[in-house]
Amino acid sequence: MHPRPFEAAKSIPLTAWLSRHLGDPSSVSGGVRFSICPSCGEPKRGEQTNKVSVKGPYWKCHKCAAGGSIVDAAAAIWGVTAIKAANKLLEDNHISDQGPLPTPVPKTAEQELAAFLSLEEGAASLRQKENALSEVMQSIRENARSPLMDVRVAKYLQYRGISAKTAGRANHRGILASLPSTVDSAKLWLTENAGEIEMRRAGMWPDHARCPAIAYRPLVSFFPNGTAAEFRTLTSAGSARESVDVKSTQAKAIRYGVTDSPWFWEGEREDKERAAVVEGVIDMLSLVELGWKGHIFGLPGASSWKSCMPGLVGKSEELGVKQFVLMLDNDNAGVEAAMEMAFTINEEARFRVNIRHPSGIGIKDINDVLRTKAGGAQALARS
């Protein structure tokens, strides 16, 4: 066992190691970037590519906000603790406590300056794109929050078991909104309210596309930070598509902005000490529909729990939460994430944690519970 495993592991060249595990990087404005993140994985359709930047011995994902040293990257990729990741890195790279630590090849002053200027140029370009995206998100948020939902969006929510009353409350709270559900109408609305030039600057409207991808996804759910949102298609199993010409191979939902804070539903005063954690805004609204009175956090996917933890814990402390009930999806990703999340929360020693996955024949998530109505409200109220 090396006496200084973290220090020794961090001497391993980060870019070369990431290349072996994530694929070859891209050169962006003279810098190095990876499209796959050790924490949140590959980008989905419509999401930012080349999202992971590397600066010296550290990396940063500009989508999920994860980052750190080579040890943090290895721990995320291998799904182990930091100390296990550090020791495995040393073993894989044949570094022992008997020999000297590998020393990096020194750079000349000119090389250091060139590398710094490249990083600065890339960072400035990224900031411009992020600022444009923030402005577009704010424009959409301000103009899409009409209390009158698009008819097809309302019909889709009804199919998912979400009543007009709950949808209206979510709209009033700034969580839920809708775009026009036909592509041409949505394109016109986005052009008038967000601006074509602004959306192209933000990377939301590719040069080759006749309209932005969100024009095909009229159900909008905003994250608490106000500068990020998810756009979802109106497709339902076993029925005709409610929206038009969205191929089944395309992502049903795409997100823009930094989603490091989960969706949040503030609970009733009489149940303020409990908070449920589910996956997605539909499950969050489904839990409201089922009669849950406590607070609810909706993760943007099971794999996002690590990046959402600071915001989730901070908000819970602010609200006086004492108990978490983890109701993540009853699949491999949800079960694994719930166990890891419970372990992390328990380490805080400030909260009690219960894990209660949705269960039953054909039931995977909270929305399935709502749609089957198999004693869902009573069972969840007792959890």
CA distance 134 to 112: 32
- Residue 37 DSSP label: B
Among 90, 125, 105, 137, CA closest to 256: 137
pLDDT of residue 182: 93
263-382 sits in which CATH class?
A: alpha beta
The residue assigned the tokens 């489904």 is 286
CA distance 84 to 306: 18
Q: Which two tokens stand for residue 353?
A: 């944690």
pLDDT of residue 304: 86
Q: Which two tokens stand for residue 135?
A: 């402005």
CA distance 155 to 135: 30
Which CATH number, 3.30.1680, 3.90.980, 2.60.40, 1.20.120, labels domain 145-256?
A: 3.90.980
Conformation bin of residue 116: beta by default, left when phi > 0, alpha when psi is -120 to 50: alpha
Number of neighbouring beta carbons within 10 Å of residue 369 = 26
CA angle 332-335-336, nearest 5°?
80
Q: Which residues contact 158 (CB under 8 A, 6 or more apart)?
A: 164
Among 183, 161, 170, CA closest to 244: 183
Amino acid identity for residue 211 in this structure: C
Q: Which two tokens stand for residue 200?
A: 């192209």
DSSP sequence for 53-72: EEETTEEEETTT--EE-HHH
CA angle 97-100-102, nearest 5°?
115
Among 229, 194, 322, 347, CA closest to 267: 322
Q: Which two tokens stand for residue 2?
A: 């090396």
- Residue 214 DSSP label: G
pLDDT of residue 58: 86
Long-range contact pairs involving 374-383 (C-beta distance under 8 Å, separation at least 24): 376/290, 377/290, 377/291, 380/287, 380/290, 380/291, 380/292, 380/327, 380/356, 381/291, 381/292, 381/293, 383/325, 383/327, 383/354, 383/356
Same fold, 5-106 and 145-256: no
pLDDT of residue 206: 87
Enumerate the domain spans of the chain.
Answer: 5-106, 145-256, 263-382
- Residue 43 DSSP label: P
> In tens digits, what is the pLDDT along the chain, a chain of 383 residues?
677 788 888 888 888 888 888 887 876 655 688 888 888 877 665 555 667 888 888 888 887 778 888 998 998 888 888 888 888 888 887 766 555 455 556 666 666 666 655 555 555 556 777 788 889 999 999 898 777 889 999 999 999 999 999 999 999 999 999 999 999 999 999 999 999 999 998 888 988 888 999 999 999 999 997 788 999 998 753 333 433 334 333 578 898 887 778 999 999 888 889 999 999 999 999 999 999 999 999 999 888 888 888 889 889 999 999 999 999 999 999 999 999 999 888 876 678 999 999 988 889 999 999 988 744 444 444 44
Sheet containing 58-61: give its strands across: 26-28, 31-34, 52-55, 58-61, 67-68
Number of neighbouring beta carbons within 10 Å of residue 300 = 25
pLDDT of residue 258: 76
Which CATH number, 3.90.580.10, 3.40.50.300, 3.40.50.1100, 3.30.70.100, labels domain 5-106?
A: 3.90.580.10
